Amino acid sequence: MSPAEVIDVTRDAGLRRIEWGADVHAPPTDLGRVAEVRELTLAAGLTVASYGSYWRAGVSPLAELTSVVTAASTLCAPRIRVWAGEIGTDVADGSTWDTVVDSLREGCAVARDHGIELALEFHPDTLTDSVDTTLDLLERVGDDALRTYWQPRLDEETGPSVEGLRRLVTVLAGIHVFSWWPGANRLRLHERSELWSAVADCLVRDAEPCDLLLEFVPDDDPTLVAAETATLHDLILATVA
Whether the Cβ atoms of residue 203 and residue 238 lie closer than 8 Å to each other: no
Mean per-residue pLDDT, 139-164: 97
Cis peptide before 182 (omega within 30 of 0): yes
pLDDT interval class at 241 (50, 70, 90): confident
Residue 81: pLDDT over 90 = yes
The DSSP element (H or E) to which 201 belongs, if any, is: helix 193-206
Percent of the chain surpassing pLDDT 90 = 99
Calpha distance 58→129 (Å, rounded):
16
Amino acid residing at 34: V
Burial bucket for residue 132 (CB in 10 Å: 0-12, 13-18, 19+): exposed
Q: How far apart are CA 72 and CA 186, in angstroms?
A: 30
- Residue 162 has a pLDDT of 98
pLDDT of 182 reads 95
Q: Is there a contact between 149 and 174 (Cβ–Cβ < 8 Å)?
A: yes
Picking from 136, 154, 72, 149, the residue whose alpha carbon sits closest to that of residue 100 is 136
pTM summary value: 0.96
Q: Is the torsion defined by CA of 178, 179, 180, 185 positive or negative?
A: negative
pLDDT given at position 240: 83
